[in-house]
Amino acid sequence: EHERMETQLLYADRLSLLGQLAPRIAHEFKTPLQVITGHAGLAEEWLKDGKVREARDSLGHICPAADRMLGLVHQMTDLGKPSDARQTELDLRVEVERTLEPLQELGAVKYCQIVRDYDADLPNIRGDSEQVEQVYRNLIVNAVQAMGQGRGRTLTLSLQTSEDGCWVETVVGDSGPGIPDEDLEQIFHPFFTTKSEGEGTGLGLPIVKTIVDRHSGKISVNSIEGEGTQFSVT
């Protein structure tokens, strides 16, 4: 009887773990899947119009998006490995732009004014490129979604070095409605979301915070209702 109960508890624990992982997997796969399906549709339209060059450009975005999904699969299957196993030297300007490029072609990012402020002497950091890209992708997509579909949408991307040269700070800002004070304390809690039902899982920012913590960094948020929000990652 004791062994049977232990087996049932182990099975229940595995089901619980699967239930926790499923929405996270769906959240992380959603954006690259949108890139793949969106650009496949664009390529089809270009080919109908005989625009081979434009179709080739759209198809060029599909393989990198599929590679990102493959990278996510590797992360999930390699959970037992040390978190610094894939760390290399990274230029965060390159990482931001590589994350931004496919997002600019589709959705609301395409119609945002993007203001860049990059330190010319930005030092490299050590980090996991795939995880850093997850951080930037989540913050940029959240910023764009927060601004909605109205006019005057400004996405601000800043990369600066601290005065002592020990830290690199990334700021992702938006000109949206801001986050209410009562929600600011909860935004990094799993499954908390201010989005409409079906539009968010509440896992994006907890994933971001987990990755930043793994890189010995810090994340903070400054938001003023009616003016916008800035997420700072050091």
Q: If you ran DSSP here, which 8-state letter would residue 166 be given?
A: S
Query: Whole-number mean pLDDT of the chain?
Result: 82
Higher pLDDT, 224 or 102: 224
CA separation, residue 132 to residues 39, 90, 112, 125, 136 (Å): 24, 9, 23, 11, 6
pLDDT the model gives residue 148 = 78
State the Cα–Cα distance between residues 46 and 58, nearest whole angstrom.
9
Question: 85-115: per-residue pLDDT in tens?
Answer: 578 999 999 999 999 888 877 666 777 899 9
**Region 33-53 average pLDDT:** 91
State the Cα–Cα distance between residues 140 and 230, nearest whole angstrom.
11
pLDDT the model gives residue 173 = 94
Predicted TM-score (pTM) of this structure: 0.65
* pLDDT of 156 strictly over 90: yes
